[in-house]
Amino acid sequence: MIQVTYEKALSRNRGIISPKGQKALDTALVAVAGCGGAGGSVAVQLARLGVRRFRLADPDYMDISNINRQEGAFVSTAGTNKAEVIARLIKDISPEAEVVTYTQGINEENIEEFLKGATIGLEEIDYRQPWYTRLVHKTAERLRIPLVTGIPVAWNAFSFLFDYSNPKSMGFDEYVGLHPDRIKEGDYRSYDIKVTAYSPELPLYLGAGVIRDVLAEKIDIPCIGPGVSLAAGQTASIVYFYLSGDRKVQPVPYYYSAGDLYLKPASRITSYVGLVGHHIRQAFRITRATSNRESAALQKEAVEAAKREKDR
C-alpha cells in the first residue's frame, strides 16, 4: 500500500505557498454550502492545496446533466448525493482529512452548527434558492465568519469576498440590492436581486435570445466546464490569500474576474465584448450599485463607452 504523508503530497507547493500559508491551510476549517458546480470544484482545489477539515452541505444528487462541468460527476456517480461524492474525492486526495457531510443541505435548524467554528465559508448555493443563500450570509455575518463565492459565467468567472470578520464590511443585502421585506421562502421570484451583482460583466456574445430564455425559465443558465474550472481556481486562490495574508483580498463591492476568453479577429486589437467588459469592470470597481435602476444605467454607460472606443 502506498504511504501518503502530508508533506510529500504537498511538496510541489513549496516556493509558491509560504510556510505560514501552508500552516493556515492545514489548520483551517472550511464550510462549503453547495457542492455542485463551483462549490465542489473549489473544495477539491482546497484539498489539493492542503486543507484537511471540511463541512460539506448539499441536498442534491449527481445527474447526467452535471457531467459537462461538475467535479465528481460521472455516469458511475449519477444518483449519488453531491456532498458525499466530493467527500470521497477529498478523502482520496487526503486520507486523513476530516469531512462532515450535510446531505440534507442547510436549513434554519442546522445552519449555526454548520458554520460555527469555521475559519471561512464558501457560499455556492443554487441560484434558484436565494432564501438559503441569504440564510447562510446572515448567519455568517452574525458569527463573523467570512464567506467567498465563485460564479462561472460562460467563458469567464467572478469571485467575491464578503468579509464578515469586519463588522464594517458590506453585507449581502446591500451588495445585491435586496429588499428584505419582499422575501418569501421558496419563492425566488420575490427576490429583487440585480443580475450584475454576481455577473458584473455580462456575456453579451450569448445573444439576447438565450438571455431571454433563461429569464423566462425556458432553459437553465448555460454553464460549461472551463468556466467552472476558472471559478474554482480563482476562488480557491482567494481563500488561500485571505487565510495566509500573503496578499490583501478586497471584499465586495470589489470583485475578481478571470477575464473573458473571447476570440478576436486578427485585424482587431480589442473586441467589442472585451471593451464592454473592461468598462463594466471599471464602473463596478469604483461604484456601489444600490438598485436595479442604477445597475442598468451602469450597464448602458459601459456599452456606450465601448461603442465610442470601437468607433475611434
Cell numbers at 222, concatenated: 448555460
Nearest to 310 by CA among 278, 263, 262: 278
- Strand locations in the chain (E): 30-33, 53-57, 98-102, 120-123, 147-153, 156-162, 256-257
- Looking at residue 5, its pLDDT comes to 93
Under a CB-based contact definition with an 8 Å cutoff, are residues 101 and 40 in contact?
no
- Looking at residue 284, its pLDDT comes to 35
pLDDT tens, position by position, for the chain (312 residues)?
788 899 999 999 999 999 999 999 999 999 999 999 899 999 999 999 999 999 999 999 999 999 999 999 999 999 999 999 999 999 999 999 999 999 999 999 999 999 999 999 999 998 778 889 999 999 999 999 999 999 998 889 999 999 999 999 999 989 988 766 666 555 545 555 666 788 887 777 777 788 778 767 788 888 999 999 999 999 999 999 999 999 999 999 999 998 765 544 444 333 334 444 443 344 333 334 334 455 555 555 555 655 565 565
Rounded CA-CA distance 220/195 in Å is 15
- Looking at residue 177, its pLDDT comes to 81
- Looking at residue 290, its pLDDT comes to 39
Under a CB-based contact definition with an 8 Å cutoff, are residues 118 and 31 in contact?
yes
Residue 46, SS3 per DSSP: helix
- Looking at residue 293, its pLDDT comes to 52
- Looking at residue 202, its pLDDT comes to 72
Rounded CA-CA distance 45/23 in Å is 16
Residue 131, SS3 per DSSP: helix
Which residues does 197 contact at the CB level (< 8 Å), separation at least 6? 175, 176, 177, 289, 295
Cell numbers at 114, concatenated: 454548520
Question: Domains (ranges, CATH) in the chain?
Answer: 6-261 (3.40.50.720), 262-312 (no CATH)
- Looking at residue 278, its pLDDT comes to 42
Q: How far apart are the first and last CA of the chain?
A: 66
Helices (H), 165-291: 172-176, 208-215, 225-244, 272-286
- In Å, the largest CA–CA distance within the chain is 66
Cell numbers at 9, concatenated: 503530497
- Looking at residue 199, its pLDDT comes to 83
